[in-house]
Structure 1
Amino acid sequence: MHVDLGSLAHVTLQLLDSRRPFTCGRLTTQRRPSDMAETHGLMIMLLIILEKLLLTNSKVLLPDANVTCIIPDDCILPCSFRPTGTVVIHWYKLQIPVHSYYYNKDQFGLQNKHFSGRTCLFNSQIPHGNASLLLRRVKVQDKGRYKCYTSTRKGNQEIFINLEVKALIQSVIMEMTDEMVTCSSHNIYPVPQVTWATDPPSAQEALQNSTIKSTDHKGLLTVESTLRILGNLSNYTYICSFIAADKTQVWTASRKNREGVTQEEGHALTIPCIAPHSLQNFSLTWTFTSSAEPTVILRYDSKTRHTFNLWEGQAELDQDLLLLGDGSLLLHKPDIKEHSGTYTCTVSGLQSRHIVQTKVNITVASISVDKQSVQRSWWSTAASAAFFLFTITVALLQCIRRRGTYDIYSVMYSSLCNER
């Protein structure tokens, strides 16, 4: 005979839903706020159904339920029964003992060491028909089919739970060289789908990538996908998305390496950084790399609208453009020594990260037209004076040769080379 286990699971969760703390073994836990409606009528209906089943058959067989738990959180495997005095409870994963309860207390003698210290029942709720199991610090190895066996003087009941586990995608890291762009994510489970795109768009045939995965000792995965650069490095924005196996999560990273920028020192310079899509809540970080490690020079938080600027007076953001997703950096008077290097803009939003990298070369300022005119005038005057002195010197030397020992000082105060 079959009973909808969804109702049983709902009842179990409803029993746990209380404003008061509940106790699991020696652990006292405050229940999180629940958004489930009151289901007292459903509980009464369920008890009536179970009573009828028990009257016709001493063993109740129920369909499997599916539960998904997040690594490494705690998780509840629901199990309900009709309370009729003393009860025996056994939890198994296949044939492996997970948790046992009889003689009105927990029994750990046969518990498999994999579950040691990680399981408990809600003892105060057992008299109310709650045999649910709390599994702490869920692992990849916990995945599988569990059986909840309960036995009372009215009969036996078996409920099967299919436990799926997943480790959420925490972030996606994107790196780029002159030839390849790589996307990677660590400590995830199960294997996600990886997709690539570019802006402007490219044909899917051009986006052939290589994806590899590796597993650590905990069973968690590292997934790395590599794509060859299309054309010049600065032609495209590369977009990589990791899609969870159950489609409930999408994490996107994008990156653009811009062409190098050259500017004369002392002249204002704007380094572009525009988010690829509209973001409601985001943070923006500018870093600068010269010869040493990257240095954070500016941070902005859209929620608080607070700006942390280590280059106050040297660089700033346009507050109005920021609200439109434009985080371009304005350098007021760039210096050849202090401001030449690589600037990296990182825009982080909900499950997304966008990076723009720009190499900036500050050069010596060229001379203006007015300064050039002044310099030309100065050189012209200097050249004329030098030519005049040269002419006098030559004339004096000629006079000395012609008059022999004639006093040179007389020559300086008389007409040049006049005959007496």
Structure 2
Amino acid sequence: MAETPGLMTVLLLHLLMVDAKDFNLTCIVQDDCILPCSFRPTGTVVIHWYKQQIPVHSYYYNKDQFGLQNKHFSGRTCLFNSHIPHGNASLLLRRVKVQDKGRYKCYTSTRKGNQEVFINLEVKAPIQSVMMEMTDDLLTCSSQNIHPVPHVTWATDPPPDHGFTENSTLKITDHKGLYTVESSLRILGNLSHNTYFCSFTSADKTQEWTSSWRNQEDVTQEEGHALSVPCVAPHTVQNFSLTWTFSSSTDPAVILRFDSRTRLVSNQWEGRAELDQNLLLLGNGSLLIHKPDREEHSGTYTCTFSGLQSRHVVQTRVNITEASVGECRTFYKMFLFLSNHRIAVV
């Protein structure tokens, strides 16, 4: 008995039924990323990947087909061919770009019907570092190669009673879609010895990088007398590295480095300067200089704590003065001078 047209229509619709699914996926710029897709394997299969209407990758006649592939994806896509017979139509997207962001469709067709799976792909370039510099009364905080653009905030310790600064933030995107963000803070009034904090928070709030800067008051010490140049982290730090540098009229030179994970010290001023490692593990990285010399050790000392998503800089100007002569010694020299002068006159 012939089947009715109505029954034939229902059977046809069942065979062509679209099993629509949506997935959200985030990939990292320059990393390789897998866009998942599976189907019910029954013999040969046709696979098409699209971004909106743009052809990304095709597979039929049991092999990859690149004739219609958009050049943006050329050389950056592949399927797991040995797993296709088991129902795996996932796409490997290599060297992810910001421009890869969008809605992807995985279309598969077998003799049992067709299926569509949709992937909403987000792309991000995480914050890798935040650098801070100070020139006169201007602090600059910057980070590069980020996507999407992060949020920047400033703070100071101690908090000011009134408006203390003027700030502005510049956001520039390059041809790859990556942002360089530079935020500047102008210090108003006599607040140059405060600690200033700059924080970069990622758009999805999964990252927060903080950099801080403190210009300490000048330190003056007579040569030959032991000197401690203070440096204390503003908060608890773990798994950090500490670097001390010195500069006078030349480029900064490294004094020493310390790694809290290995507790190893690389000291270029061995015998002249050292750290107290017991205090250091508590966040106190003060530098002890044993016998400072006026010509060799007068200059700017910079202490940098670098930890997980944090960087803290303390800068101190040190003036080493000539050792003063005791009063008795001065009187004795004057006595000898006058005595010799009197003898000469006689």
Same fold (TM over 0.5): yes
| CA shift digits 1:71-107 (9 cap, x unpaired) | 1111011111111111100000111110001111111
What is the match of residue 6 of structure 2? Answer: none
Of 145, 148, 151, which aligns to 1:193?
151
Aligned match of 2:215: 257
Structure 1 residue 286 and structure 2 residue 244: aligned?
yes
Which residue number in structure 1 is paired with residue 261 of structure 2? Answer: 303
Q: Which has the higher contact order (CA 8 A, sep 6+)?
A: 2
Cα deviation per residue 1:358-395 (whole Å; 9 max; x = unaligned)?
Answer: 111112111023422322332343344345x1xxxxxx
For 1:343, the equivalent position in structure 2 comes to: 301
Classify 1:130/1:207 alpha carbon distance in 2 versus 1 (closer, same or farther; 3 Å). Answer: farther
Are the structure 2 counterparts of residues 82 and 205 from structure 1 closer, same or farther at C-alpha, using a change threshold of 3 Å? farther
Tell me the residue number matched to 2:5.
none
Query: Which whole-Å deviations, capped at 9, do the CAs of 1:217-265 have from their partners, x for residues lacking one?
Result: 2111100111111423533111000000001111110001112222211
Q: 2:160, 2:166 → 1: CA distance?
A: 11
Contact 1:54 1:154 (C-alpha < 8 Å) held by counterparts: no
Measure how far apart 1:63 and its partner are: 3.6
Select the residue among 230, 233, 244 that pairs with 1:275.
233
Q: Which amino acid aligns with 2:316?
A: T
Structure 1 position 241 matched with structure 2 position 193 = no
Alignment of 1:71 with 2:29, yes or no, is yes
Query: Is this contact kept in 2: 1:63–1:159, CA < 8 A?
Result: yes
Structure 1 unaligned regions, length at least 5? 1-52, 390-420
Counterpart pick for 2:184 among 221, 226, 232: 226
Q: Which amino acid aligns with 1:90?
A: H
Q: What SS does the aligned partner of 2:316 have?
A: strand
Structure with bigger gyration radius: 1
Structure number with higher helix proportion: 1
Contact 1:285-1:299 within 8 A present in 2 as well: yes
Does the 8 Å CA contact 1:88/1:152 hold for their aligned counterparts? Answer: yes
Residue in structure 1 matching 2:135, options 172, 177, 192:
177
| Secondary structure class of the residue paired with 1:247 | coil
Task: Give 1:187's aligned amino acid.
Answer: N
Greater CA deviation, 377-386 or 83-92? 377-386
Cα 1:235–1:297 shift into 2, 3 Å: closer
Shift of 1:320: 1.2
3-state SS of the aligned residue for 2:339? helix
Which residue is 1:322 aligned to? 280
What RMSD, in angstroms, separates the aligned Cα atoms of the two structures? 1.8
Instruction: Choose which of 39, 42, 60 in structure 2 pairs with 1:102.
Output: 60
Task: Map Cα deviations across residues 345-364 of structure 1 (whole Å, 9 max, x no partner).
Answer: 11000011000111111121
Classify 1:60/1:208 alpha carbon distance in 2 versus 1 (closer, same or farther; 3 Å): farther
For the pair 1:125 / 2:80, whether they are aligned, the reply is: no
Using the TM superposition, give the Cα deviation of residue 207 of structure 1 relative to its aligned residue in structure 2, in angstroms. 5.0
C-alpha displacement of 1:180? 1.3
Partner of 2:123: 165
Question: Per-residue displacement from partner, 1:110-156 (whole Å, max 9, x unpaired)?
Answer: 11111111101111111111111010000111111111000000111
Q: Which amino acid aligns with 2:104?
A: Y
1:83 equivalenced with 2:41 (yes/no): yes
Structure-2 residue corresponding to 1:408: none
Distance in 2, matches of 1:182 and 1:283, equals: 22
**Residues in 2 aligned to 1:97 and 1:348: alpha-carbon distance in whole angstroms:** 46
Say if 2:200 and 2:209, in contact at 8 Å, map to a contact too. yes
Match of 1:211 in 2: 169
2: distance between equivalents of 1:344 and 1:337? 18
Alignment of 1:24-43 (within 5 A): none
User: Is the contact made by 1:172 and 1:183 (CA closer than 8 Å) also made in structure 2?
Assistant: yes
Q: Distance in 1 between matches of 2:188 and 2:154?
A: 12
Q: String of CA shifts for 1:158-199, please: whole Å, max 9, x gaps.
A: 111111000010101101122211111001100001011111
SS in structure 2 opposite 1:223?
A: strand
Partners of 1:322 and 1:368 in 2: how far apart?
37
- Specify the code of the residue in structure 1 equivalent to 2:156: T
1:142 lines up with 2:109 in the alignment? no
Instruction: Evaluate the alpha carbon distance shift between residue 375 and residue 54 of structure 1 in structure 2; reply closer, same or farther with a 3 A threshold.
Output: farther
Distance of 1:204 and 1:212 partners within structure 2: 25
Report the Cα distance in structure 2 between the residues aligned to 1:118 and 1:258, rounded to whole angstroms: 52
TM-score by length of 2: 0.93
Contact 1:181 1:227 in 2 (8 A): yes
Q: Secondary structure at the match of 1:130?
A: coil
Note closer, same or farther for the CA distance 1:204–1:216 as it changes in structure 2 (3 Å cut). Answer: farther
Contact preservation (8 Å) 2:141, 2:198:
yes
Point out where structure 2 has 5 or more consecutive residues left out of the alignment.
1-10
**Alignment partner, residue 333 of structure 1:** 291
> 2:89 aligns to what SS in structure 1?
coil
| CA-CA distance at 1:288 after TM superposition | 0.7
TM-score, normalisation: structure 1: 0.77
Question: What's 2:3 paired with?
Answer: none
How has the CA–CA distance of structure 1 residues 113 and 92 changed in structure 2, closer, same or farther, with 3 Å as cutoff?
A: same
- 1:362 is aligned, of 320, 330, 342, to 320
C-alpha contact 2:164 2:189 (8 A) present in aligned 1: no
Which of the two has greater strand per residue? 2
